[in-house]
Amino acid sequence: MLNFYMLISGSKGNSTIIWDENDIIMIDAGISLKRFKEKTGKFDFNGREKSLFISHEHSDHSSSAKSIQNRLKMDVYSRKNTLEKLNIDGYSINDSAAIGNFEIIPVSVSHDAVDPVVYVIKNRGVKISVVSDLGLVSDDLLYYIKNSDILALESNYDGEMLINGKYPEHLKRRISSEYGHLSNEQTSEAISEAINERTNIILTHLSENNNTPDIAMNHVKSYLNNRNKKYRSIECASQYYGSSTYEF
């Protein structure tokens, strides 16, 4: 059985775990070791090999990478420049990595980090895409995430809330640039092109100041419904509770 659980998602930290009977794949480590153990204590992970994949060096994705690597004996994978930036001894991932029944594919994205990627994970016919921290969705990325069984995609900000909010202008420009984050509108467009009727949609990395779960959810659902796009389910992941647990 394949399992998916997003532990936390937002500007204060991001982390996801995906596991089968042999291996645990962790995507990003923006969660304390204590909280990681609290949120995963209900699962029996004994006997499984553990691997951590880091998307980029920003602290909300990597702050606990070293402690989790050392305490949980995890192999760490990322781009060479990201590992160097974090001063972590790990494996450089270029095209893909094969771990047990998993294939983990890094896809380069546009963000203000040294060599940012997102990850597409495949396991015996199931495809899971964990995509956040990017300012635009390229045709290349759309190709890789198309027809995912789980599409966990950033829906960071509402355009009007950002424009009318209290952030300084330079920060507003950074967020809305091609090296920043995705708006609800951009996310809706990407989802409409990527999903099929089997896709479970998870909206992630919502801004606490420039978005709300209701606004993000209503925007995406309305966009998809207006285009008669079918999907299996949709939810917003949160900073504190993460996502539902999915089983395949």
CATH number at residue 153: 3.60.15.10
What's the pTM? 0.97
pLDDT per residue as tens digits for the range 98-149: 999 999 999 999 999 999 999 999 999 999 999 999 999 999 999 999 999 9
Strands 97-99 and 91-92: unpaired
Radius of gyration, alpha carbons of the chain: 17
Three-state secondary structure call for residue 57: coil
d(CA 62, CA 73): 16
Q: What is the mean pLDDT of residues 183-196?
A: 98
Q: Is the pLDDT of residue 232 over 90?
A: yes
Q: Among 42-56, 133-147, 221-235, name the one with the lowest average pLDDT.
A: 42-56
Number of domains in the chain: 1
Q: Which runs of E-coded beta strand occur in the chain?
A: 3-8, 15-19, 23-27, 49-53, 75-78, 91-92, 97-99, 102-108, 117-123, 126-131, 150-154, 200-204, 233-236, 245-247
Q: Give the pLDDT of residue 134.
A: 98
- pLDDT reported for residue 208: 95
Query: What pLDDT is attached to residue 44?
Result: 87
CA gap 53, 45 in Å, rounded: 18
Domain, as residue range, for 187 = 3-247
